Amino acid sequence: MTSPRWSTAVFDLDGTLADTINLIVESYQHAFRTILGHEEDPAVIRSWIGRPLIGAFRDHSPQHADELYATYLQWNADNTERLIRGYDGVGEVLGDLRSAGVHVGVATSKRRESAQQAMDILGLSEHVDILVAMEDTERHKPDPTPLLLALDRMGRGSNGAVYVGDAVVDVLAGKAAGMDTVAVTWGAGLPEALHEVRPSAVVANADELRAAILG
């Protein structure tokens, strides 16, 4: 195996390491049905993935945002174990990165409790050095603050670091942090939109992700 292309890899969680897309969409729809009496276009919901929940609710329905948020969180927590899925081979890639000496972190807009629950269920936690979650920063993707905090807590710099995510906001945040970026096409983002923001690489499966980072 050749030397890793990057010595530090920070990952998004939803849609990148954890297949939570259906869980997220159904959690939103439950909240909308319960509080507003109707559902939302799933494509619109998917476009919100990667943003903090409360921000999406405040933009969508300011007067009901707190009720929607609380309803979402309860249903999501109750149904995570039932609906969460892993992506084939992605957990093994994290293990291979660690074996190759790559420092691995996660920076997500997800709440810490929910993010840790997802990582524990999927067996990812043992491969991750640091988790930066929604509560850790006031600014969120596409702002680079969460990514820079992850690097700081890992004692790493943006030089030689890559951010891996499935959404346009992930690529934009990585670039703003001075990191290289890898976009994965198995999550919520549309491949055409991901290509348009020009990440360092675009990968379609775990083998391509491994090759992009480890060669």
Same domain, 120 and 46: no
Same domain, 57 and 98: no
Please state, rounded to an integer, the average pLDDT across all residues of the chain: 96
Estimate to the nearest angstrom the gap between the alpha carbon of 166 and the chain centroid.
7
Contact of 21 with 4, CB cutoff 8 Å? no
Share of the chain above pLDDT 90, in %: 97
Number of structural domains in the chain = 2
Same domain, 95 and 53: no
Q: What is the 3-state secondary structure (H, E, C) of 2-62?
A: CCCCCCEEEECCECCCEECHHHHHHHHHHHHHHHHCCCCCHHHHHHHECECHHHHHHHHCH
Q: Is the pLDDT of residue 2 over 80?
A: no
For residue 2, being part of any structural domain is answered with no
Q: Is the pLDDT of residue 1 over 80?
A: no
Query: Which residue type sits at 70?
Result: A
For residue 3, being part of any structural domain is answered with no
| Euclidean distance between CA atoms 201 and 125, whole angstroms | 25
Boundaries of domain holding 53: 21-83
For residue 177, being part of any structural domain is answered with yes
Tell me, what CATH number does 49's domain have? 1.10.150.240
Tokens matching residue 171: 């690529």
Tell me, what CATH number does 135's domain have? 3.40.50.1000
Average pLDDT over residues 15-21: 97
Same domain, 116 and 74: no
Question: Tens digit of pLDDT for each residue in 124-134?
Answer: 999 999 999 99
